Structures are given as C-alpha cells and as structure tokens.
C-alpha cells in the first residue's frame, strides 16, 4: 500500500513513520511506499529507508499534484501551531484550513475519476473545546461535548473535522478525525505552541537548564505521551467504520494532570535538584490562552477501540528519558 | 448608516429589506443606504426606493470590491439551498463556504486598514443538527445541542458559524449567527430545498392546485413564519453583545408542528376542500433527508432577547393569506 503522512518530518509525524516502517504493515497490508510531506526535510534515518520518499514544500503547493497520485491511506498531521496562528491570522487560514481543504479536494477528484476513496486520519485537537459565555466548559470534555474554540487553531481544527465528515458522507474519503491531547514530552527546543511549556518544564531541567512555567501550579491539562498518541492514530486508522462509530471526531485518551503533579513526577524520577530548575513566572498571554483550555478530557469512544491513557506522569517522563538514551546532551542535568 | 443584505433579492432578504426601509432605522441609526446583493435583480418596489442599490452577480465576484466599501452592517443571507448542494457538491462549497469566507475577509481587510468592524448577522440553519451514529439527536434541539450535520448545506452553515465566531473574537467583525427554522409559507414556486414541501402543501391547495406531500403525516418539524424570521434577524442585529451572550450561534424561535397539524390548520382556515388537494406520495430522497432533521427546536437565548415563536400554525397560514391579498391568483382555490 501507498501511504502519505503530511507533517511527516515533524515530531509526531516522524515517530508515526518510524512505527509504521518498523511494523511493515497497516490494517493488514504491507507498506510499500511512504511519502513524507512537510516544509522541512525528513530525518535522515527515515530517508535511508528505501520505502520512504520525501516532499519538501508547503502542503498547499503539493495538493494539485496529489490529484494524480494514488494513495491508499493518509495521515494528515501538518499544521501551524496555536501560538503562530494567534499572531498570524492568515498563516492559520492558509496552513490549517486551506491546506486541508485542498488535500480533501485532491482526494475527491481522484474518486470522481473512478478511484477508490483513500482512508484518512486527521489529527484534530483538544483545542476545539473552550468556554464561551453562552457555553461553560465542563470539568472534563467528552467526545460529545459541544466545541466552542477560543483560538483560530482550534477553530480551524473543528472546521476540518466537519469538512472531513461531509467528504466521508459523500464517499470521497474514508475519514476519521481524532483529537490529540497535548503531546508531551517533546524533544528539542520550545516552539510557538502555547502548550510548549508542558514539555519545557520537564525537558529543560533534565538537560540541566532552567525552565520557566508561565502558568500556576494548579493548572490541569489532558496530556499524552508521543508513543500513545502514535498508537492512537494507528488504531483509529485500522478501526472498521462500524467500530469508529459515526463520522464525528473522537478524543484520543488523556492523562489529566496538574502542573504540580508533573513537577512531583519529575522529582520522583530525577530528583529534587532537577525539579528546582523550574521557576514560576506568569506570562499573561500564555496563561490567558491556557485558561480557555479544558482541564481534563475523557475518551469513551477511543476506549471502545482498545485505547487507554497513561496512568502516571512518571511513565511519560520515563518514555522521554528512554527516547533520549542515544543523545546524552538531552539529559545532562540528570545524575547517572 | 450603510447596510448590505446578501441574498437581498430572495424571499427572506427582500422582506427584511422592506421591513428595514419601512422602519427607516436600525439599532437607533437612520438607514441612508441599503445595498441588495444577489444573483437575481431585486423586486421593483425595493428598487424604487432611493436608498436602495442593487448588485446582481455571484457574491464571490462581489467580495474583492467590498474591501473598499464601508458598510456599518451586513445581513448575510445568500445561500444555495440544501437540495442543490446535495446534487452539486462544488456549488455548495463555492456558494455557501467560499463566498462567506470571502465576505468575512473583505470586512477583515477594512478593519486591518483602520476601519471599525461591521456588525454582521449570518443566517445559519436548523440543518446544522442531525443524528450521527455516535450522537443520537434529542427530540428537541437546543442552542447548545451538539451539531452533527447530515448534509453539505448544514455542514457549510456550521463551518460558517465557527468562522464568524473566530473573526468576531479577533475583532474583525461583530458577528452573530442565528439559526433559521424552516420558513413557511413561502410564496411562488417550489424550489430545490428539501424542505420546499413544507410551504407547497399549504400554498398550492390555497391556489387551487394539487400538492404532493413526500413524507408521512407524523413528520414533525420546527417552522417559523417569514415575518417572525425577519423580526428575529433584526433583533439579533440590535442586541448588545452582552445580551447576545458569547459568540456561538443561537436558534431562532420555532413552532414545532407535524404535517398532520399543518393540514388540520389548513382545513380550519380554508376548509376541507382545500385540504383535500394534498396527496401523500412518498419521495425516498426527500424523506431520507428530512428523517435526519430535528423534529423540534427550542430557543432559550432568543427568548431572552424577547423573541417568541408563533403558537398556532393557523396564524402562519393567515399571515400568508394576508401577504397574498394583492395577488388573488395565489389564493384562487379559496372560497371568498
């Protein structure tokens, strides 16, 4: 089978690609070809695999050509992040809305010329939820909580969920939207996502660096490890339409955790000195965005697909440490 | 003040224009100019008013020019109807999605060049609701019922609700989305809306013609008269942002009525001979679409704005008969 991952050079996309290539199959079919589309080149280990091809350009520029390429399956992960979209409104429209529309239309045109519809998993986000003065947010957002996005990022994700559902209803794709929880611990440098600090307050102290937490310790948030997130995307792809249930988006599993619990877990895994590198310094812009996010999420439909969240944040930190085993600089703040 | 009505030559748009011109003011300001944008020319009585200008072209073609025109307020009613969008997917995307996006971007560009944001009322639809296998529909859909559209028309209306909310959040417009119930009794000929028969089974018998009801008598549906619908749009425009509550869409008031009750009302108003002109002949395509529509709606937020539904379908029929007073052919089936 031929697969496409948009955002395939990104953190989640590259991990998904590695997991798929290691397995060699998806939904019982051998993976013969895997195209990684992204604005950045794919990591070298992925490019070394003969099944992998890379396409380095904005997704919007790729879509015209995609009308002539037969893909059996697509993981559509490409996205500008929430902070970027708040500061650059047109970037958000272009990267998160117009690109998805173009991708769906490329797949539709193939079907209208007689091809079988591609299966497509879309990474939506817990950011679709948010309180509105007319719609207070429940303590825990469920699959069927009414979304009221409070960022352009969340708005565009929600709009794409509904485009996906309608293209699916019409038979142009076999689409499934899965709402990602905040994926942590991300490696590398902070990015412009308002949620970036959820990784930073773990990653930087482990690397021996100071970290700033821009929100108070009682902020609670639904998170997931990179590996559980990737497993969720694959399981959603492999589910039958009946098992997926309907065409509306589902929540991927979350561990609902406070900043305080995250730091306690950091201390339990890496010691008090590592934890002491985190300093609280409120950032009103970040705190304002995060205040509009859910404090927790449930995932009943994902549970029926056999997906479960982590139960302890310590396990998420240990996954990050294991991932960093080959790059000691990432962990230079930890005592051996 | 300068006003724009998109779809201003249509049934609801023209009635809204007449109501506004007769009042002469909106939200306490004198109406100096009223532009009616539509694909068809506006009715002659409207064009005779010196305050009215008409723009006859597809909305999408108008939007570039709108970037240079100062409007204080917009009623955005232009739309392809549900039946058309089901048979022509690209028409729906273009007319109901791309046109709205272009209109919002035209208004945004003015604000980004220093203009005050225009107030905009968008006519969304009860068609945003629909059952999904994962989301059964409640008997009565409320303002905060989770939408799961089952038509492209409903999908695009819902997407535009969320675009509107985000452009409002960013300060590019002062947007308010109001979900119209099925407006009945519409004059003229049947149109391609799947809901067209809700007017046809009253209008045609009153004109002495046979009518076909494509669904069974126990089908229940939320309806509103043209005049209550127009009053609702104006009230939503005039509400303060605080009174409107939040940025999410609200339901306009509905009379929840079965086909049986509609026909009983027809008999009560116009006699058994008029009623006998309605024949039941099931149309699977129409019945299938209607089966996915809500059987009733509530409108708590609209009620807090002072808006109430009709209480008897007889009153809706009498409004239609009064509207037809100048055109006896419309009522030639009624005994004097």
The pLDDT profile of chain A, 336 residues, written as one tens digit per residue, is 999 999 999 999 999 999 999 999 999 999 999 999 999 999 999 999 999 999 999 888 888 888 889 999 999 999 998 889 999 999 999 999 999 999 999 999 999 999 999 999 999 999 999 888 778 889 899 999 999 998 999 999 999 999 999 999 999 999 999 999 999 999 988 887 888 999 999 999 999 999 999 999 999 999 999 999 999 999 999 999 999 999 999 999 999 999 999 999 999 999 999 999 999 999 998 898 888 889 999 999 999 999 999 999 999 999 999 999 878 788 888 875
Nearest CA in chain A to B247: A132
Per CATH, the architecture of B197-220+254-297+310-331 is what? Alpha-Beta Complex (3.90)
Of A135, A146, A155, the CB nearest to B166: A155
CA distance B233 to chain A (A): 19
- The 10s digit of each residue's pLDDT in A92-149 is 999 999 999 999 999 999 999 999 999 999 999 999 998 887 788 898 999 999 999 9
Secondary structure in 3-state letters for chain A? CEEEEECCCCHHHHHHHHHHHHHCEECCEECCEEEEEECCCCCHHHHCCCCEEEEECCHHHHHHHHCCCCCCEEEECCCCCHHHHHHCHHHHHHHHHHHHHHHHHHHHHHHHCCCCCEEEEEEEEHHHCCCECCECCCCCECCCCCCCCCCHHHHHHHHHHHHHHHHHHCCCEEEEEEEECEECCCCCCCCCCCCCHHHHHHHHHHCCCCEEECCCCCCEEEEECHHHHHHHHHHHHHCCHHHHCCCCCEECCCEEEEHHHHHHHHHHHHCHHHHCCEEECCCHHHHHHHHCCCCCECCHHHHHCCCCCCCCHHHHHHHHHHHHHHCHHHHCCCCC
Distance CA A196, CA A189 (A): 9
Task: Identify from A162, A164, A245 which residue to disrupt to test chain B contact, counting B C-beta atoms within 10 A and taking the largest count.
Answer: A162
pTM comes to 0.96
Contact list in B for residue A163 (CB cut-off 8 A) is: 155, 159
Residues of chain A with CATH 3.90.25.10: 197-220+254-296+310-331
Q: How much is the ipTM here?
A: 0.95
Establish if B134 touches chain A: CB-CB under 8 angstroms: yes
Q: Tell if the CB–CB gap between A143 and B152 is shorter than 8 Å.
A: no
Residue B171 is given by DSSP the state: T
Nearest CA in chain B to A89: B170
Q: Tell if the CB–CB gap between B133 and A165 is shorter than 8 Å.
A: no
Q: Tell if the CB–CB gap between B155 and A165 is shorter than 8 Å.
A: yes
Contact list in B for residue A239 (CB cut-off 8 A) is: none
CA distance A273 to chain B (A): 43
CA distance A174 to chain B (A): 15
Residue B29 pairs in a beta bridge with B26
Residues of chain B with CATH 3.40.50.720: 2-180+225-251
Residue B199 is given by DSSP the state: H
B320 catalytic? Reply is no
Residues of chain B with CATH 3.90.25.10: 197-220+254-297+310-331
- A197-220+254-296+310-331 is a CATH 3.40.50.620 domain: no
- The 10s digit of each residue's pLDDT in B121-156 is 999 999 999 888 778 889 899 999 999 998 999 999
Of B133, B158, B247, the CB nearest to A132: B247
- State which fold the A2-180+225-251 domain adopts: Rossmann fold (3.40.50)
Establish if A169 touches chain B: CB-CB under 8 angstroms: yes
Q: Tell if the CB–CB gap between B163 and A155 is shorter than 8 Å.
A: yes
């Amino acid at each position: 089978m031929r697969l496409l991952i948009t955002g395939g050079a990104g953190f989640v996309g590259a991990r998904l690609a590695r997991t798929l290539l290691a397995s060699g199959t998806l939904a019982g079919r051998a993976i013969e070809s895997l195209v990684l589309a992204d604005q950045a080149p794919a990591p070298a280990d992925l490019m070394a695999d003969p099944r992998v091809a890379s396409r380095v350009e904005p997704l919007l520029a790729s879509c015209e050509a995609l009308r002539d390429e037969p893909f059996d399956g697509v993981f559509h992960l490409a996205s500008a992040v929430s902070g970027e979209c708040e500061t650059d409104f047109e970037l958000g429209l272009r990267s998160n809305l117009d690109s998805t529309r173009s991708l769906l239309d490329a797949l539709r045109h193939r079907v209208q010329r007689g091809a079988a519809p591609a299966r497509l998993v879309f990474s939506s986000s817990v950011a679709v939820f948010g309180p509105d003065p007319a719609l207070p947010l429940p303590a825990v957002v469920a699959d069927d909580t009414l979304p009221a996005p409070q960022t352009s990022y969340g708005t565009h994700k929600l709009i794409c969920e509904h485009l996906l559902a309608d293209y699916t209803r019409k038979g142009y794709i076999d689409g499934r939207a899965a709402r990602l929880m905040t994926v942590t611990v991300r490696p590398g440098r902070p990015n412009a996502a308002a949620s970036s600090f959820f990784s930073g307050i773990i990653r930087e102290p482990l690397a021996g660096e100071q970290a700033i937490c821009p929100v108070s310790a009682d902020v609670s948030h639904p998170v997931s490890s990179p590996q559980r997130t990737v497993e969720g995307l694959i399981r959603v792809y492999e589910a039958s339409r009946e098992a997926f249930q309907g065409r509306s988006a589902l929540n991927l599993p979350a561990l609902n955790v406070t900043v305080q619990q995250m730091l306690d877990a950091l201390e339990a895994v890496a010691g008090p000195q590592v934890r002491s590198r985190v300093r609280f310094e409120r950032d009103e812009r970040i705190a304002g965005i995060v205040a509009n996010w859910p404090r927790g999420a449930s995932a009943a439909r994902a549970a029926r697909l056999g997906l479960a969240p982590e139960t302890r944040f310590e396990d998420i930190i240990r996954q990050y440490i294991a991932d960093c085993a080959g790059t000691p600089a990432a962990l230079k703040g930890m005592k051996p």
